[in-house]
Amino acid sequence: MKQTVATLAIAGLLGLGLAGSAAATHPRHHAAASKSSDATVGAMPRVGGHPDLSGVWSVMNTANWDIEPHASSAALQLRPGPVVPVPAKDVVALGAIGSVPAGLGVVDGGTLPYTPDGLKQRDDNKAHYLERDPEIKCDLPGVPRANYMALPFQILQSDKSMMIAYEYAGAARNILFDDPGPAPTDSWMGQSVAKWDGDTLVVTVTGQLDSTWFDRAGNFHSGDMVVVERWTPVNANLIHYSATITDPATFSRPWTMNMNLYRHLGADAQLQQFKCVEFVEELLYGKLRKNPLP
């Protein structure tokens, strides 16, 4: 009995240590996690012996604008101005709504470890943002981007299975606990194979197309990218999320992003629909109308 207690205590310390080490690389997240570990908030409910992550979740950060640290700016795409860069012509009318909110970034170390060619491509993407960001066309977002868009998502988990429904574009992920082997073909959301590491859900995502981005800042990846997500419940209403990206074709080394996911509570815990396909028809097909709008 004493041995069991001692083992649990050690495991608890190890668990705290692991959680701490994940967050310690990014002090901002460490602080956020500490603050939210309020004793008045209970532990995550459990199902089938594991934390039950079911519910509606979202981030409170600006990673979807740019996963690197960034100051606020006038627009997602700029052009040279007489004094300072100004919004590209196509977004001028949006005014402050089209501007970019500042963000602390979510990448460990702050800067993405691009290869020289990768960095050139990212900068070119940024310069041609309006033509290239797949989000503009309402394309499926891929992983990890789906998890930190401005819109929430709902995890559905039982003791046997799990899926994630995203509000953005009605995207969905089938979280597989039985590894079916390599994905038969690449897809926008990839193939997610999960296992439990203690109370952390570890999901390895492979088979993603090279067509998705990380954010609205042109940060991209290749079709060889492997994403390992770690979903660690901190308390009933908070999940620490990390994703380690391995993509030698784009980055000089693997890198990790960290952030918090917050539970939507009460009446807010209802996923709405954002089937944006119909919203982009004018953009994609407007010129093909019988009578194009002026």
Neighbours of 262 (CB within 10 A): 16
Please report, to the nearest 10 degrees, the dihedral formed by the alpha carbons of residues 92, 93, 96, 102 taken in order: -40
* Contact flag: residue 236 with other proteins (CB under 8 A): no
Shortest Cβ distance from residue 145 to other proteins (Å)? 14
* Contact flag: residue 48 with other proteins (CB under 8 A): yes
CA distance 259 to 241: 5
CA distance 91 to 97: 10
* Contact flag: residue 120 with other proteins (CB under 8 A): no
Number of residues that bind other proteins (CB under 8 A): 44
Q: Kindly state the tokens that stand for 188.
A: 């926008």
CA distance 252 to 158: 39
* Contact flag: residue 170 with other proteins (CB under 8 A): yes
* Contact flag: residue 2 with other proteins (CB under 8 A): no
* Contact flag: residue 91 with other proteins (CB under 8 A): no
- Using CB under 8 A, which of 90, 123, 131, 281 touches other proteins? 281
Neighbours of 162 (CB within 10 A): 21
* Contact flag: residue 239 with other proteins (CB under 8 A): no
CA distance 114 to 217: 14
- Using CB under 8 A, which of 40, 116, 266, 290 touches other proteins? 290
* Contact flag: residue 24 with other proteins (CB under 8 A): no
| DSSP conformation class of 251 | B
What Cα–Cα distance (Å) separates residue 229 from each residue in 8, 45, 177? 26, 21, 14
- Using CB under 8 A, which of 86, 104, 150, 176 touches other proteins? 176
Owner of token pair 């939210």 = 36
Stretch of residues binding other proteins (CB under 8 A), selected from 1-9, 16-24, 90-98, 275-283: 275-283
Shortest Cβ distance from residue 181 to other proteins (Å)? 11
Question: Are 208 and 188 a contacting pair, CB within 8 Å?
Answer: yes
Fill in the per-residue mask, 124 to 163: x = in contact with other proteins (CB under 8 A), - = not in contact. Answer: -------------xxxx-------------x-xxxxxxxx
Shortest Cβ distance from residue 143 to other proteins (Å)? 12
Contacts of 283 (CB under 8 A, 6+ apart): 136, 137
* Site residues, other proteins (CB under 8 A): 47-48, 52, 54, 137-140, 154, 156-163, 165, 169-172, 174, 176, 180, 184, 187-189, 211, 270-273, 275, 277-278, 281, 284-285, 288-291
